[in-house]
Amino acid sequence: MNVITMTSWRPMQRSEAGRALRLEADGRPEPPRDCPRCPRLVAYRTANATANPGWFNGPAPSFGDDNARLLVAGLAPGRTGANRTGRPFTGDHAGQLLYATLAKTGFARGRYDPNGDDDLELIDCMISNAVRCAPPGNRPEISEEAACRPFLTNRITTLSRLKVIVTLGDISRRNVLKALGLKASAGLPGHGTEFEAGPYIVLNSYHCSRLNTNTGRLTPAMFEAVFERARALL
């Protein structure tokens, strides 16, 4: 794992970070079920609700331990994943590897079911997304990332014991840094990079998508190593 320490700025203490990251969106870490912030995503959400009224079809709320010291940050819900089930990384291929890895490294217990019909529980860990509503083609626009970012800022800020953030993919890495009031260039991209961001340590991983795992760009061992490092840092 490549360890990169950024020395061009003085890391903020948690109290300083809390003052600097003034809570937006009325201080809520989760958007309302009928969040109107992104017209394109609202239209897509409405179309999905019409076609599949039994699905969740809303901003997927964060899932996990409110006292977590580890936050896992993804990009956005998949249409047939969290948009269907209402739980991050539940119902799509990425969740199979993520939840199995969390269980293996002691951050989850219980049975995982892709429909969410399970007793899965996260331990000292929470999962969230930079964008909470499913985007067409799994690709949120930059304006949608910015519109949803206050909720990511609030989610980070309200986790009072948070120490480590694992970002899944480069877009997640950039959004977490921006949510912390930093430039996207404040931490280098690439799998296994590690850097300080305010009072937190950020570990970046390739996203656990079907494409990355099927092509061998990300192996289970590579993914597990990131969470073993997170465990060592706590």
pLDDT in tens, 103-115: 999 999 999 999 9
Q: What count of other Cβ atoms lies within 10 Å of the Cβ of residue 115?
A: 10
Write down the pLDDT at residue 147. 97
Local confidence band at 27 (pLDDT 50, 70, 90 cut-offs):
confident
The tokens for 182 are 């930093």
Give me the half-sphere count of Cα atoms (radius 13 Å) on the Cβ side of residue 93: 8
> Would you say residue 180 has pLDDT above 70?
yes
Give the pLDDT confidence of 119-149 residue by residue, as tens digits. 999 999 999 999 999 999 999 999 999 999 9
Window from 5-19, 21-35, 45-59 with minimum mean pLDDT: 5-19
What is the identity of the amino acid at 101?
A: T
Residue 4 has pLDDT above 50, yes or no: no
Q: Is the pLDDT of residue 10 over 70?
A: no
Write down the H helix ranges in 182-219.
Answer: 210-214
pLDDT at residue 13, rounded to an integer: 47
In terms of Cα–Cα distance, which of 106, 47, 83 is closest to 230? Answer: 106
Contact yes or no for 78/60 (Cβ under 8 A): no
Percent of the chain whose predicted confidence (pLDDT) is above 90: 87
User: Is 14-233 CATH 1.10.10.10?
Assistant: no
Q: Is there a contact between 63 and 87 (Cβ–Cβ < 8 Å)?
A: yes
Q: What pLDDT, on a 0 to 100 scale, did the predictor assign at position 143?
A: 97
Assigned token pair, 160:
């009072």
Strand partners, 202: 165, 195
Q: How confident is the model at residue 25 (pLDDT cuts 50, 70, 90)?
A: low
pLDDT value at residue 11:
36
- Long-range contacts of residues 94-103, Cβ cutoff 8 Å, at least 24 apart: 94/207, 94/208, 94/209, 94/210, 97/208, 97/213, 97/220, 97/223, 98/72, 98/127, 98/168, 98/208, 100/220, 101/208, 101/220, 101/223, 101/224, 101/227, 102/72, 102/227
- Strands 164-168 vs 70-74: parallel, antiparallel or unpaired: parallel
In whole angstroms, what is the distance from residue 208 CA to residue 96 CA?
9
- Please provide the size of the chain in residues: 234
C-alpha closest to that of 167 among 231, 83, 223: 223
Domain ranges of the chain: 14-233
CA angle 93, 97, 101 (to 5 degrees): 160
Confidence of residue 26 (pLDDT cuts 50, 70, 90): confident
Whether 176 and 73 have beta carbons less than 8 Å apart is answered as yes
Structure tokens at 91: 């119902």
Selection from 47, 123, 132, 137 nearest residue 88 by Cα: 132
Q: What is the pLDDT of residues 66-113, one digit of tens each?
A: 999 999 999 999 999 999 999 999 999 999 999 999 999 999 999 999
Quick one: DSSP state of residue 197? E
